[in-house]
């Protein structure tokens, strides 16, 4: 019997759409007052209708997670459901994982950094 090798589908890198954002001219105060986000994050939220994703990141900035100075946030979406995860760095264990059961976020993966109370895209780092 021949073994069938399972291929893992490679996710589309949604950050590619925002590579023109390097640095920012404006900072936008999040309504929770727990930090700010950049022009690139604002553009992502507008294009993908995903201000809720910014809310997810800021909702975790409490007395435990909020003390971590460098956070890597990733959303992986199938186009109808998604998972949002946070690590201290790319090679560290997942500290936050939240399933999003219904979404119209585009299929693929998007990475964001939360550094010293500022949410940015990797190209803005």
pLDDT in tens, 39-94: 999 999 999 999 999 999 999 999 889 999 999 999 999 999 999 999 998 889 99
- Does residue 74 lie within any of the structural domains? yes
Contact 85, 77 (CB under 8 A): no
Residue 6: the pLDDT is: 45
**Predicted TM-score (pTM) of this structure:** 0.89
Contact 36, 27 (CB under 8 A): yes
- Rounded to the nearest integer, the mean pLDDT of the chain is 92
Give me the number of domains the chain comprises: 1
- Does residue 5 lie within any of the structural domains? no
- Does residue 70 lie within any of the structural domains? yes
- Does residue 52 lie within any of the structural domains? yes
- Does residue 92 lie within any of the structural domains? yes
- Does residue 18 lie within any of the structural domains? no
- Does residue 20 lie within any of the structural domains? no
111 pLDDT tier (thresholds 50, 70, 90): very high
Residue 68: the pLDDT is: 93
């Amino acid at each position: 019997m021949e073994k069938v090798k399972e291929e893992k589908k490679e996710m589309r890198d949604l950050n590619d759409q925002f590579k023109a954002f390097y640095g920012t001219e404006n900072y936008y105060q999040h309504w929770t007052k727990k930090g700010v986000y950049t022009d690139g994050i604002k553009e992502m939220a507008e294009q993908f209708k995903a201000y809720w994703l910014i809310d997810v990141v800021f909702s975790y900035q409490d007395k435990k997670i909020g003390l971590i100075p460098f956070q890597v946030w990733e959303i992986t979406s199938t186009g109808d459901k998604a998972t949002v995860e946070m690590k201290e760095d790319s090679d560290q264990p997942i500290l936050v994982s939240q399933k999003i059961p219904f979404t119209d976020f585009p299929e693929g993966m998007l990475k964001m950094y939360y550094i010293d109370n500022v949410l940015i895209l990797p190209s803005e780092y």
